[in-house]
Structure 1
Amino acid sequence: MGCASSSSRPRTSKTSTSLRLLLEVPSAFRAATHMSEADRKIMRKAFASMRKAREQQDEPLFQRHDLTFHEAVLRGAGNERIVEAVAKTRSQMHARGLSTTATRTLDDIFEVHERIFDAIEAEDPHAAARAVHDHLVGTLRLLVQQSAGEEIPYDPPITPWLDVSNLLG
């Protein structure tokens, strides 16, 4: 009853990962122009710490600062319930032993976060949303494949606001 079969693990991972995508992309869009200075300082400190952890090749430290970085972006959007929902989803994924560092280097992971950081610092909501979208779709594809134990396709949920927001901006 409480056990998930191995065939249900990819579906569960897809659900969890899709939730992150649906919550974090519009949050990054909003955070780019609405983030408080306090949250911006936390994001900057987390990003600098990620850079240092990357240079030291300290994966656990990098992961901790990655969590803080994403939390700061989410808080910058101003919705605490989204912060809590994403934290719960990340925790569930972590409990399943899913990690992208098994298939990507810290340099690769840092690089995608740099795009997010630069877009938010530039207060460019379109670039911030696109950077988070690209980061999460890449990450989520890897995690779904890890969860399945084989390469399976991951079709992200439709995120029409990325295209619509370009028309509005």
Structure 2
Amino acid sequence: MTKKFVLGIYDDEDVLLQAIENVRAAGTKIYEVFSPYPIHGIDDVLGIKRSRLPIVAFFCGLFGMSFALWMQIWMLGFDWPMIIGGKPHIALPAFIPVTFELTVLCSAFGMVITFFIVTKLKPSLKVNVFDKRSTDDKYVMAIEVKEGVTDISALNNLLRSNGAIEVNEKEVTK
């Protein structure tokens, strides 16, 4: 299955941000914007919602903390109780380092695994590079062309009037 895209290529991030606002205000849906580095504020301009990954991190950290405390209390208090340095069997202050480490470990692994699942990233994923210059010094705005719905010439004029230095068409196999 091939999809057709119109690519607006920009050489200034401020012009790109203004163009995104104008293109969205014109009612055109932007497929994706590519840049050689992260641009501050582009998520808000594109209308991307805030990530819920911190919520996942909190619950994974809570699981890690609970597991660490349960594991230490069970092992040192009930399964194999030993008196070490005169401390009681369940010595919570002594459990803090292990609890902290497992909290951080579970939180980090939980976020990474959730990120890979949500974004459908996998080792065999084939990534389409719309324009190689987007990895070096240009910014690329990709707009999907739907047959019979999108007027390509009007889209070209819209992108050029909003500061695109170049407008190209590209077909991508998905």
Name the structure where helix makes up a greater proportion of residues.
Answer: 1
Task: Provide TM-score, normalisation by structure 1.
Answer: 0.24
Q: TM-score, normalised by structure 2?
A: 0.24
| Greater fraction strand | 2
| Larger Rg over CA atoms | 2
